[in-house]
Structure 1
């Protein structure tokens, strides 16, 4: 059935950046669909790679990658070579409420958020896209957020604006890649039960579905966008938020 629906990833090389939270179930799904995986996080996710390799028998490589470092992003892209799909879930959510706007601490936090949430994914996507355009095929998926749609009820200005900018980046990249056989899409998850929200209290009564998303529910959409089944989707930012917001 998966082949019939066009979602087989047999022998595809899929790079997943940001293995914590949503990234790990993305890796599981892609492995189940037959992909060879390249996993990256700030510390090389060797344990996740070993688990997935043992569970699914697929090829899995693990890399350390600091998304806030331009040189590290360039090094990673050079090391992994050509990939058929790139899924970027890496992001940080700072405790902005503890910082005085305009203070040196706030400025440092702002720079770090934008480096990891926007600049790193932008550079990584552009470098991957160049190689995909040469090959006339490829999929890029960037993880945005409901905060980028709504202005952020739980998050501060830094996170919300970085994700709103990422949504715009998805469209900017897609406009330049679509005619070359490369698709760029994103998704905007609502509040999800990941470690990122461990200090947040979410009023689930405000979510029509009445609960937080589970990481697997977001990962399924990301994996779909990275698969051949999404071949005619370009520049979409898919809402996956339990009905909390519609674009």
Structure 2
């Protein structure tokens, strides 16, 4: 019997990379999982078709839009039952840009994709968790929140710093209602994110500085997310787990 047998889990940005590993990890542990996607419709359909009937629900959703997130949570509840675990994973760098050249609309978009989407997801899930007197939220931050990220990633780093601080503030706010809020801060994880935004030379140089001597895998992050959402972490809240192979230790 899996750790999440009979539970419903809601994951944003769950059709690729880390999000997909999180969705598949919860499903293996017996959960019914609703996950959102934006641009990965084909991958989302393949995931649902490959899973046991009724185990996964894919919902197209712009996680930066209040009404879209609210509707996605409603649909997940109606199809799979009350949600006890939420993972706010949707996010992205969008593109690298120096601050002196940074358009305001791009800055606002990066903040919306990473920080506002996290806020909207948490806010949409909290009422039912408060009513149930229990629940777990896991928010996706980044090593960039600590070190500013790579060149041209100032908005991304700032938004992920906001996610980290939001997790701690929210943990204080809802802890007394039986809800735990934690986060993970991945470093270099081998996903399409770095295929798009990082050079091979830069990635190799990072690996050379990493004590464990490799890039992380999406499953490395998913394992930490599942732990934080589980009863094994029942006395953890406001915690951020750093997943970077020892590249940075805090």
Q: Structure 1 length as normaliser, TM-score? A: 0.89
Please name the residue that 2:4 is paired with. 9
2:208 counterpart of 1:205 = yes
Please name the residue that 1:135 is paired with. 132
Please name the residue that 1:173 is paired with. 170
Deviation of 1:102 after TM superposition, in Å, equals 5.0
Q: Contact between 2:133 and 2:177, CA under 8 Å: does it hold in 1?
A: yes
User: How far, CA to CA, are the matches of 2:99 and 2:140 in structure 1?
Assistant: 28
SS at match of 2:17: coil
User: How far, CA to CA, are the matches of 1:241 and 1:70 in structure 2?
Assistant: 32
Once the two structures are superposed, residues 31-75 of structure 1 have per-residue CA deviations (whole angstroms, 9 ceiling, x without a partner) of 11110110111145222122233xxx6621110110122221222
SS at match of 1:10: coil
Once the two structures are superposed, residues 70-124 of structure 1 have per-residue CA deviations (whole angstroms, 9 ceiling, x without a partner) of 2212222232233010112111112223x67355xx2221111111100111111
Once the two structures are superposed, residues 158-211 of structure 1 have per-residue CA deviations (whole angstroms, 9 ceiling, x without a partner) of 000100110000001100111111111000011100000013121111222221
Unmatched tracts of structure 2, length 5 or more? none
Alignment of 1:185-204 (within 5 A): 185-199=182-196, 200-201=198-199, 202=203, 203=205, 204=207
Q: Contact between 1:91 and 1:116, CA under 8 Å: does it hold in 2?
A: yes
Please name the residue that 2:218 is paired with. 215
**Residue 238 to residue 154, structure 1, CA distance change in 2 (3 Å):** farther
Please name the residue that 2:76 is paired with. 80
Q: Contact between 2:17 and 2:192, CA under 8 Å: does it hold in 1?
A: yes
Q: What value does the CA root-mean-square deviation take over the aligned residues?
A: 1.8
2:28 counterpart of 1:29 = no
Give the alignment partner of residue 142 of structure 2, picking from 142, 145, 156: 145
Q: Contact between 2:90 and 2:117, CA under 8 Å: does it hold in 1?
A: no
Greater CA drift, 66-75 or 161-170: 66-75
Deviation of 1:234 after TM superposition, in Å, equals 0.6
Q: Contact between 1:14 and 1:37, CA under 8 Å: does it hold in 2?
A: yes
Please name the residue that 1:48 is paired with. 47
The structure with the greater share of residues assigned to helix is 2
SS at match of 1:85: strand
Q: Structure 2 length as normaliser, TM-score? A: 0.88
User: How far, CA to CA, are the matches of 1:90 and 1:17 in structure 2?
Assistant: 5
Please name the residue that 1:125 is paired with. 122
User: How far, CA to CA, are the matches of 2:54 and 2:233 in structure 1?
Assistant: 23
SS at match of 1:96: coil
User: How far, CA to CA, are the matches of 2:58 and 2:12 in structure 1?
Assistant: 10
User: How far, CA to CA, are the matches of 1:109 and 1:223 in structure 2?
Assistant: 33
2:61 counterpart of 1:65 = yes
Unmatched tracts of structure 1, length 5 or more? none
Q: Contact between 1:39 and 1:49, CA under 8 Å: does it hold in 2?
A: no
